[in-house]
Structure 1
Amino acid sequence: MRKFLILLSLLVPFGALATIQIPDKFIADGTTHDIESTPLEDLFSHDQILLMLQRDGWCSANWRGYKAVWELSDGTLYLNSLVKNACDENPESVDPVHFFGESEFPIKATWVNSAIEVKTSEIRSVIRVLPNGDKEYVGYDYDAVVFEFSAGKLVQKLEKTIENRRY
Structure 2
Amino acid sequence: MRKARNVKIWMVSFWVLFCHNAFATAQNPDRLIYKGDTLFIFANPLEELYKNDSIRPKFFAGQAGCITTACWRGYVADWKIENDQLYLTGISSCCFRDDGVRANLKSLFGDKVIDGVVKVDWFSGNIIAPQGKMLHYVHLGYESIYERELEFHFEGGRLSTTKTYDNSKTRESIYSKSPGKLQELIYSSISWDKLADTGEEEIRVFVSFSANENGVVDSVKVLRGQNPDYNLEAIRVVKLIPEWDVFYRHGKHQRTSWMVPVIFSSSNRKKYSK
Query: Residues of 2 paired with 1:73 and 1:35: CA distance?
Result: 16
Task: Give the Cα separation in 1 of the matches to 2:30 and 2:55.
Answer: 15
Residue 47 of structure 2: SS of its match in structure 1?
A: helix
1:58 is aligned to 2:67? yes
Q: Which amino acid aligns with 2:148?
A: D
CA contact (8 A) 1:110 1:151 kept: yes
The Cα shift of 1:120 comes to 2.4
Check whether the contact 1:76–1:154 (CA below 8 A) recurs between aligned residues: yes
Q: Aligned residue for 1:31?
A: 37
Once residues 46 and 166 of structure 1 are traced to their aligned partners in structure 2, the CA distance between those partners, rounded to angstroms, is 34
Equivalents in 1 of 2:44, 2:32: separation in Å?
11
Alignment CA distance shift 1:25-1:49 (3 Å): farther
Q: Say whether residues 1:87 and 2:95 are aligned partners.
A: yes
| Structure with a larger share of its residues in strand | 1
Matched residues in 1 for 2:52 and 2:127: separation? 18
Question: Of the two, which has the highest radius of gyration?
Answer: 2
Give a deviation string over 1:98-132, Cα, whole Å, max 9, x none.
Answer: 4323456311111111111111244546xxxxxxx
1:46 is displaced (CA, Å) by: 7.5
C-alpha distance in 2 between matches for 1:20 and 1:59: 11
TM-score normalised to structure 1 length: 0.67
CA positional deviation for 1:153 = 0.7
Amino acid at match of 2:103: V
| Structure 1 residue aligned with 2:48 | 42
The offset of 1:52, in angstroms, is 2.8
Is 1:69 aligned with 2:59? no
What number of residue pairs does the alignment pair up?
140
**Structure 1 segments unaligned to the other structure (5+ residues):** 1-12, 126-138
SS in 2 for 1:86: coil
Q: CA deviation at 1:146?
A: 0.8
Seen in structure 2, the aligned counterparts of structure 1 residues 150 and 123 have a Cα distance that, compared at 3 Å, is same
**Alpha-carbon distance in 2 for matches of 1:142, 1:48:** 39
Instruction: Name the structure 2 match of 1:21.
Output: 27
Measure how far apart 1:73 and its partner are.
Answer: 0.6
3-state DSSP class of the match of 2:129?
A: strand
2:150 counterpart letter in structure 1: V
Match runs of 1:141-152 below 5 Å: 142-152=147-157
- For 2:149, what is the secondary structure of its paired residue? strand
Q: Distance in 2 between matches of 1:31 and 1:146?
A: 15
Identify which range, 36-45 or 93-102, moves more after superposition: 93-102
Structure 2 gap segments, 5+ residues each:
1-15, 137-143, 167-249, 258-274
Q: Give how far 1:87 is off.
A: 1.7
Tell me how far apart the structure 2 counterparts of residues 112 and 80 of structure 1 sit (CA, whole Å).
15
Hey, what does 2:175 align to over in structure 1?
A: none
For the aligned residues, what is the CA RMSD? 3.2
Question: Which residue of structure 2 aligns with residue 5 of structure 1?
Answer: none
Q: Decide which moves more: 113-122 or 90-99.
A: 90-99
Asked if 1:107 corresponds to 2:118, the answer is: yes
Q: Which moved more, 1:30-39 or 1:53-62?
A: 53-62
Q: 1:46 to 1:143 in 2, by over 3 A?
A: farther
Name the CA shift for 1:140/1:63 in 2 (closer, same or farther; >3 Å): closer
How far is the alpha carbon of 1:158 from its aligned partner? 1.3
Cα deviation for residue 51 of structure 1 reads: 5.3
CA contact (8 A) 2:30 2:42 kept: yes
Report sequence identity in percent. Answer: 26
